[in-house]
Amino acid sequence: MVSKIVEKSGLKPISETPETAEKTLTGQLPCAVILDGGPDNKDCDRLMSAIDALRRASGKPLPAVILLSTRNGTPESLGLSSVVDAVVAKPITPERLQPVVDRLVGRG
């Protein structure tokens, strides 16, 4: 579902597990990263430092980071890493995710 939504933004999605994503991130600079936070928004915490390093190296807030969450809120209100740019509450629908992807990818 998420990949189809990303494709509608004209992007080429690459799906990875949290365990393999860090290696993929070191080989390229994606324009956006969509993370599934899992039940407690912590499933992808170990990727935050790698994403932060990519942003520092690029000198821009790229890649944009979207967290798929079980809760509504902003990154700040949910106590998330400053690397997270936007939160989209589950269940994921095109109406919820598409505008966020378009907005964040358009800023780059």
> What is the share, in percent, of the chain residues with pLDDT greater than 90?
58
Length of the chain: 108
- For the segment 46-72, the average pLDDT, to the nearest whole number, is 91
Predicted TM-score (pTM) of this structure: 0.91
Instruction: Specify whether the CB–CB gap between 30 and 15 falls below 8 A.
Output: no
**Any alpha helices (H) in 27-80, and if so which ranges?**
48-58
Q: What is the pLDDT of residues 10-58, one digit of tens each?
A: 999 999 988 889 888 888 888 999 999 999 999 999 899 989 998 998 8
Residue with tokens 């629908």: 93
Distances in whole angstroms, Cα of residue 80 to Cα of each of 34, 41, 48, 98: 14, 8, 10, 21
What pLDDT does 107 receive? 59
